[in-house]
Amino acid sequence: MLKFLDKLSYSILIVASSWMLIAPIQPMPHVAEKFLMLKNGTLLKPLDIFDLFFHLSPLVVLILKLIRDRR
């Protein structure tokens, strides 16, 4: 089921994960902003929730690839 992970290279996933975690750099990265909203209980809009998942998706794929390669 997850054979597509074998075709992805670590370098692409690391660059994509890093970029998505810090984008946009100014005024505050979206991931940090969304985690603050989550902590404060204000992460309620569907667009904000989608944005958080969108920015974390390359990191999730990287973690899945690491787990798959360890087995």
Q: Identity (one letter) of the amino acid at 64? A: L
For the entire predicted model, the pTM comes to 0.83
Tokens of residue 60, six digits:
């999730």
So where are the chain's domains?
A: 4-70
| 20 in Cβ contact with 61 (< 8 Å) | no
> 1-57, pLDDT tens digit by residue?
678 888 889 999 999 999 999 988 888 888 999 999 999 999 999 998 999 999 999
> Closest by alpha carbon to 38, among 13, 56, 20?
56
Tokens of residue 61, six digits:
């794929």
Total residues found in the chain within this entry: 71
> Closest by alpha carbon to 69, among 17, 14, 2, 18?
2
